[in-house]
Structure 1
Amino acid sequence: MTAVQVGELVADIAREAGDLAKRRRAEGVSLAATKSTLADIVTEADREVEQLIRDRIRTERPDDGFLGEETGAERGASGLTWVVDPIDGTVNYAYGIPTYSVSIAVVEGEPNPESWQGVAAAVCAPGLGELFTAARGEGACLDGVRLSVTTETPAGALLATGFGYDPATHDGDLAMVRQVMPIARDLRRMGSAAIDLAYVAAGRLDGFFERGLNPWDFAAGAILVHEAGGLVSRLELDAPRPMVIAGGPVVHAELQRLIGGAQNNM
């Protein structure tokens, strides 16, 4: 399959998974477990949506690998791996806030963000009624309309970030906000890294920074930003909570300057 064909499949699966997530939310969310802290909620819907995605992949692409938030990693024979966050923004989802998403990326190479190459991606935000898609070399789109990152920020950059669920990390996250505010027009904190990155790709945000993200949190969004003409990097890879930064070339460079640390472009 070409990157375009893979992208069409990714979009179709993301749309179906998003419909399921939205339907389950309307029916009422049943809390199933916790992740690292009590605030990091996992729902039955989270697991059900990931199972739907896995079942579709097994049917359509049985030789592909899989890296998912809920069920871990499986290597495939094709050289492609699906990197999946079934519901990114589970706290928003549990509280009934519509800023949550289904995030699906297909990458080529080792299932490691430091070495893989993006092939296709989709971020479906069913509560907002939007589907962001991208395929390698074909650009990024929102519901079929081509996207582009912002290139100028004369009034300052509109930035987004997120905080970890562990209260012990909050002081460091707030300190990082103070560190980047000299270039900021304002700051947004929406609760879904995948949507934040999709918004950077769409030019709705000028830049994004967040510590402690897992590969499934940023894999699809990074492909969207790249295909929309932006840059995404991971900083401080040896730290317990590496930093992800994204934006158009100018804002990305400014974030890199202010935050510092060894850089690995994605």
Structure 2
Amino acid sequence: MSLARDLEALAIDIAQDAGALARMRRQEGVAIAATKSALADIVTLADREVEALIRARLAEARPEDGFLGEETGAERGTSDVTWVVDPIDGTVNYAYGMPQYAVSIAAVIGEPVAGQWEAISAAVYAPALGEVFHAARGAGAWLGDQQLAVNAEVTPAGGLLATGFGYDPATHAGDLARVARVMPMARDLRRGGSAALDLAYVAAGRLDGYFERGLAPWDHAAGALLVAEAGGECTFIAGDDTNPRPLIVASSPSIFERLLQLSLDD
């Protein structure tokens, strides 16, 4: 078995254990531990506990690897592999009792910086929904044992698209302007609240495309590999002086160029 497949299996196993812990803590009741970038950007005690579990399992199995987690930051390893982890993607959904949240784990090689790494393995587990999306570089994307493929064509009614909005109110005008530009090519728009699941849904053909500014590396590391391995296109555009918030666009190839152009700021 290749390294990518080995790491995929490890990511699946750990994601399922971590998801079971998240689901149990959700049933017990959620306690808010802190806010981050804005009052609406919350961290639960479960986020921290779940990330600690993932980090401990990875350190036991692969002590030489690096780690980049939402809650505990970055630590370089001595191998070429870094694990990029979001313990609970969709924390606000999680806190409100909505099922659209996920554990996202990706193994990447190269510089542990979004846009500079190559993702080789991924698992996105939705505990409340019982679904495990996973991929290894060159081996396809899967939901359980069902191979995934993006939608080859978009209906004449337009694409079913998804997006998200930043927590900082100052960014909302730009986000809404982006939606207004994209809507002429959309059949409808979804705002699920978990970037990892939105990307997994593009890979599964449940969405035709997804676009969002302002994601953190752990939000998209696993999902982007799912899209690529399902035959889709996914691009990361780093922030710059004009707009420091990075842009992610993912879709079926048939609409990718148009969605990308409309997602770019004027």
Q: Which residue of 2 aligns with 1:228?
A: 230
Letter in 2 for 1:233: T
Q: Which residue of 2 aligns with 1:249?
A: 253
Return 111-120 or 77-86, whichever deviates more: 111-120
Q: Which residue of 2 aligns with 1:264?
A: none
- CA distance in structure 1 between the partners assigned to 2:116 and 2:245 by the alignment: 19
1:125 aligns with 2:129: no
Q: Which residue of 2 aligns with 1:175?
A: 177
- CA distance in structure 1 between the partners assigned to 2:244 and 2:264 by the alignment: 16
Q: Which residue of 2 aligns with 1:2?
A: 3
1:236 deviates by 5.6
- CA distance in structure 1 between the partners assigned to 2:257 and 2:145 by the alignment: 29
Q: Which residue of 2 aligns with 1:92?
A: 93
Q: Which residue of 2 aligns with 1:193?
A: 195
- CA distance in structure 1 between the partners assigned to 2:237 and 2:120 by the alignment: 22
Q: After TM superposition, which residue ranges in structure 1, 4 or more long, deviate above 6 angstroms?
A: none
Identity of aligned residues (%): 64
1:76 aligns with 2:80: no
Q: Tell me the alpha carbon deviations over residues 101-150 of structure 1, each in whole angstroms, 9 at most, x when there is no partner.
A: 00000001110122211110000000111110001110000011100001
- CA distance in structure 1 between the partners assigned to 2:183 and 2:135 by the alignment: 30
Return 202-211 or 34-43, whichever deviates more: 34-43
Contact 1:235 1:260 in 2 (8 A): no
TM-score by length of 2: 0.96
Contact 1:35 1:41 in 2 (8 A): yes
Q: Which residue of 2 aligns with 1:259?
A: 263
**Considering only aligned residues, what root-mean-square deviation do their CA atoms show, in Å?**
1.0
1:218 deviates by 0.4
Which structure 1 residue ranges, 5 or more long, are not aligned?
A: 262-266
Q: How does 1:29-178 map to 2 (within 5 A)?
A: 29-154=30-155, 155-178=157-180
Q: Which residue of 1 aligns with 2:25?
A: 24
TM-score by length of 1: 0.96
Q: Tell me the alpha carbon deviations over residues 67-93 of structure 1, each in whole angstroms, 9 at most, x when there is no partner.
A: 000000000111000000000000000
1:235 deviates by 3.0
1:188 deviates by 0.2
Contact 1:197 1:225 in 2 (8 A): yes
Contact 2:115 2:237 in 1 (8 A): no
3-state SS, counterpart of residue 229 of structure 1: coil
* Alpha-carbon spacing, 1:35–1:55, altered in 2? closer, same or farther (3 Å): same
Return 122-131 or 230-239, whichever deviates more: 230-239
- CA distance in structure 1 between the partners assigned to 2:223 and 2:151 by the alignment: 16
